[in-house]
Copies of this chain bind each other. A is one copy, B any other.
Amino acid sequence: MEVSVKGEYALRAVFDLASHESEAPVKIAKIAERQQIPQKFLELILSQLKQGGYLGSRRGADGGYFLARPADQITVGDILRHIDGPIAPSRRLQQGESADDSPFPELWEKVERALSSVVDRTTFSDLVVRWKEKRARRVVNWQI
């Protein structure tokens, strides 16, 4: 039940774009540097996220990537599913086994719902807001 490194890179990349929303397109190199992601690997990931319709891009000088829709309309679940595939164990049935010969399909559905209640309700806008609040608190504590 781990998230792949690729999946986590994808989340970080989208988060990076979300925190620079409505600015000029962000260059791959910039994201790679800020998020500590190998640039060439990141290129593949961003391209895949564009295929999925989550990002847009522009080439050339002043090019870069940007969110294809507002940060409050992209969820963590969207990105994870698109990069890593299904988020919960997909109901694997043994040969000649019907759905209710086994107690597990029901269990996996509960797991799916539990996971979904977190990742499909968390948008990148949420992440950015929370993160900014946390940073603000830290600055305040400094000053005291």
The residues of A with any CB-CB pair to B shorter than 8 Å are 1-3, 5, 8, 11-12, 15, 35-36, 76, 80, 84-90, 92, 94-95, 97, 100, 102-104, 106-107, 110-111, 114-115, 117-119, 122, 127-128, 130-131, 134-135, 138
Contacts and interface: CB of A to CB of B under 8 A. Distances in A.
B134 A100 contact: yes
A134 B99 CA distance: 11
A100 to B, nearest CB: 5
B111 A118 contact: yes
Nearest to A92: B8
Nearest to A81: B1
Contacts of A119: 111
A1 B112 CA distance: 10
Given A1-B2, A2-B1, A8-B89, A127 B103 contact: yes
